[in-house]
Structure 1
Amino acid sequence: MLESLGLDMDALAVYRAMFEYPQAEVKQLTERLGWPEERVRTAMDALARLSLLRPSSDVRGAARAVNPEVAFAAMIEAREAEIFERQRELQASRNAVARMVQDYGELRSSQRSGGTEQLIGLDEVRAKIESLTRSARHELVSLVPSGSISAEGIKASRPVNRELLGRGVRMRTVYLASMQNNTATSAHIRWLADLGCEVRTRPALPIRMMIVDRELALVPLDPEEVNSGAMLLRGSGATAALYALFEYIWDIATPWGERPEKSDDGLTGQEREVLRLLGEGHTDEVVARKLGVSVRTCRRITAELSTRLGAVSRFQAGLRAAQEGWLTSRS
C-alpha cells in the first residue's frame, strides 16, 4: 500500500528495522537483515529522499528514522495535493475536449446541406468508411475503380470486413478486372470471397462509391481526384439512383475468378473500354488509370486494336470501331 507514496519493500524493511533498533548503524542493519551493505545503503538513500530519515543528534554521520506519524502525514498531504492538481488538470482537459466536440459538431452541421455531408481529406473519408461499414445492418455494396489496394489499406480493412461478414451482412463489391493481375490485392479479394463477400469484376467502372443498407451513399467529390474528399448522401432519391447504377453494373459484371467471354466481334470487355475511352478523347495515361493498368499495357492494347481495324491513327481507330458497331455491344 505504501508503494503509492514511493516507498518500496526494501526501504520499508530498513525503516522498520531502524525503528526496532534505533541505535543500529549500517553494519548492524546488514547483519540483522542479512543483506549486502550496498542494498541497505540504497534503501536508506530512498528513505532520505522521502524525508523519512534525519541526522542523528548523538552520533555524528549517523541517521535515525523519523516518527511515522509525522513523516507519513506530510507525505500523504503532499500526495493529496498532487492528486488534487492532477484532478484539476484532468477536469480542464475534459472541458477542453467537450468544447472541441461541440466545435466539431457545429463544423459538421455547417458542412451538411439537406441530405448531404461533405468530407474533406483522405483521413476523414477513411474514418467515415470504417464508421459506415461498422454500422451496416443488412447490405453493403461498392464499386472500386482502382488497379490495386495498398498493403496499409488491406491491413486496416480486414478486421472491419471480418466483423461485418461475421454479422451476416451481405457484402457485394465490383472491382476492376485488372486487380486480378496484382498478387497482393488478388489474394486479399480471395480472402474476402472465402468469408462470404460476393465479388465481380468489370474492365472499367464509372465511379467509386459505397452504399449502406440502401440508405447512405458515399461518392467522391471529384471522381478524378478521390483523395480530395467525398460526399455522403442521405435520402431515398439519391441512394436509389446510385443503387440502380450498381445493380446494372453487377448484372453485367463477371464473377471473380472467371474469364470474361469475348463478344461476337471477338473483343474483350477491356478492349472495348479502351476504344470507348479513346473515342471520348482521353489520353493513354487517363485510359490506363481508369482501367487500372500501366500506360505501357494501354498502348499495347491500342496498337493491337489499330492493327485489327487497319487504322493508322487513334482517331481512325475510333471511327472504324464505331462503324463496326464495336462500341455499342454490351459486354
Structure 2
Amino acid sequence: MIGQDETCVDVYRLVITQPGWGIAEIAAELGAAESTVRGCLDKLAELSMLYPAKDATDVAPISPEVGLAAYIHRRETEIHSQQLELAAVRAATAELTAIYASQRARHGNAGLEQLEGVNEVRARLSELARHATTEILAFMPGGAQSPEALEASRPLDEQSLSAGVALRTIYLDSVRNDRATTEYARWLSELGGEIRTTPSLPLRMLIADRNVALLPVSPEDTRAGAVILRAPGVVTALLALFEMVWESAAPLHGKQQPAADEPTQQEIELLRLLQKGHTDEVAARKLGLSLRTARRMMSTISQRLGARSRFETGVLAERAGWL
C-alpha cells in the first residue's frame, strides 16, 4: 500500500519534482536498485497514480486525489464490511455467554443464590449497590427508563459515586430519544459515572466489585426472579461479556451519525434480528422500541435499498455488506 511503502512514496515524489527522469536517475538519487524502482513504478501505475509509460524515461504523474480515489473507496468498503462482521461476532459471543451463564445458574452452582419475586430482587439490588466498594457494572435493556425509576436510582447512584465507586452502565440506543434518561445520564456523568448505549443487550445484569453478579432467571421475563452468582469462573465470563459490549458501545453524548448512505448500528441490529426469524414485536422489544417505530425503521431501510418486499430488503442488505 502506498501509505506504507516509503520507497514508493519517494519514487512518486521524484516523478513529480524531476520530470524527465528515468529509472536509472531515480535509482541513483535514492540509492536503490533499479528493479526496486521499477517495482514501485508498476505499483504506482496499478494505483492509477502514473500515466502508462512508453519507455523508462516517459513517466508522468497523475494527481493522487484522482488516482487513489477508487482505491480509497474500495478499502473503505472493505473496512466497513470487516467492522460489521466484527460487530456480528461480538453480538453472537455476548448472546452465547449470557445463555451459558443462565444455564449454569439453572442447574445449580456452589456460588449461586436464588431470588424469588420482584421485591426480593429489588432489595438485593439495593444491597449490592450500597455495599460495593470499587465498581458497579450494569446492562439496562428495555428501552427508556421511567422518571420514577430514575428518581429512585438517584440517591443510591449519588451515594456510590461520592464513596468513590465507579459506575458504568450500558443502555439501549433507543434511550437517546428519551429526555428523562438523557438528562439523568448527563447528571450522572457530571458526578463521574459513565453511560454508553448499544443497539441490543442480551439480558439485564449487574456486577458489583467484579466478584458478584445478579441476573434474571429468564432474560425474557424479569418477574420470574433472579440469581446471584459468586462462582469465579462464571463471574469472570460475565465480566468479559460486559467489557466486550462496553468496548463496542457508544458514549451516550457522543456522535453516532454514520455516512448518509450507511445504516446505523440500530438498523443493522433490526435487520439481523428479523433475519434470525424474530417477529416484529420481539425485535422491537429487544431494541427497546415501540412496534410502530421498529416497523417505520424497517420501511425506511427498504426505501433506502429500493426494495419492494422484506425478502428483497434482506437480499439487498446482504449485497450491500450490511449483514
Residue by residue, what CA displacement relative to the aligned partner does 1:280-328 show, whole Å, maximum 9, x if unpaired?
Answer: 111111111111121111111111112233333323322332333212x
1:119–1:230 contact (8 Å) kept in structure 2: yes
Q: CA deviation at 1:199?
A: 1.0
Aligned residues: 217
Give the letter aligned to residue 229 of structure 2: L
Sort the Cα spacing of 1:156 and 1:259 in 2 relative to 1 into closer, same or farther, 3 A. Answer: same
State whether structure 2 residue 90 is matched by structure 1 residue 133: no
Q: 3-state SS of the aligned residue for 1:200?
A: strand
Residue by residue, what CA displacement relative to the aligned partner does 1:163-188 show, whole Å, maximum 9, x if unpaired?
Answer: 10000011111111111211222222
Q: CA deviation at 1:264?
A: 9.5
Give the letter aligned to residue 221 of structure 1: V
Looking at structure 2, the residues matched to 248 and 264 of structure 1 have their Cα atoms a distance apart, in angstroms, of 27
Map 1:19-34; keep pairs closer than 5 Å. none
The equivalent position to 1:277 in structure 2, one of 267, 273, 276, is 273
What is the TM-score of this pair, normalised by structure 1? 0.62
The equivalent of 1:189 in structure 2 is 185
State whether structure 2 residue 172 is matched by structure 1 residue 164: no
Q: Aligned-pair RMSD on alpha carbons?
A: 1.9
Q: CA deviation at 1:113?
A: 4.5
Looking at structure 1, the residues matched to 116 and 318 of structure 2 have their Cα atoms a distance apart, in angstroms, of 40
Q: 3-state SS of the aligned residue for 1:114?
A: coil
The equivalent of 1:210 in structure 2 is 206
The equivalent position to 1:176 in structure 2, one of 152, 172, 175, is 172
The equivalent of 1:41 in structure 2 is none
2:110–2:231 contact (8 Å) kept in structure 1: no
Using CA pairs under 8 Å that are at least 6 residues apart, name the structure with larger relative contact order, 1 or 2.
2
Q: CA deviation at 1:258?
A: 1.4
Looking at structure 2, the residues matched to 123 and 150 of structure 1 have their Cα atoms a distance apart, in angstroms, of 18
Structure 1 unaligned regions, length at least 5: 1-110
Q: 3-state SS of the aligned residue for 2:171?
A: strand
Sort the Cα spacing of 1:112 and 1:125 in 2 relative to 1 into closer, same or farther, 3 A. Answer: farther
Sort the Cα spacing of 1:264 and 1:243 in 2 relative to 1 into closer, same or farther, 3 A. Answer: farther
The equivalent position to 2:233 in structure 1, one of 215, 234, 237, is 237
Looking at structure 1, the residues matched to 259 and 235 of structure 2 have their Cα atoms a distance apart, in angstroms, of 32
Deviating 4+ runs (over 4 angstroms): none
State whether structure 2 residue 153 is matched by structure 1 residue 124: no
Map 1:286-305; keep pairs closer than 5 Å. 286-305=282-301
Looking at structure 2, the residues matched to 227 and 139 of structure 1 have their Cα atoms a distance apart, in angstroms, of 26
Sort the Cα spacing of 1:248 and 1:263 in 2 relative to 1 into closer, same or farther, 3 A. Answer: farther
Map 1:216-235; keep pairs closer than 5 Å. 216-235=212-231
Q: CA deviation at 1:218?
A: 1.0
Sort the Cα spacing of 1:119 and 1:112 in 2 relative to 1 into closer, same or farther, 3 A. Answer: farther
Structure 2 unaligned regions, length at least 5: 1-106
What is the TM-score of this pair, normalised by structure 2? 0.63
Looking at structure 2, the residues matched to 278 and 308 of structure 1 have their Cα atoms a distance apart, in angstroms, of 17
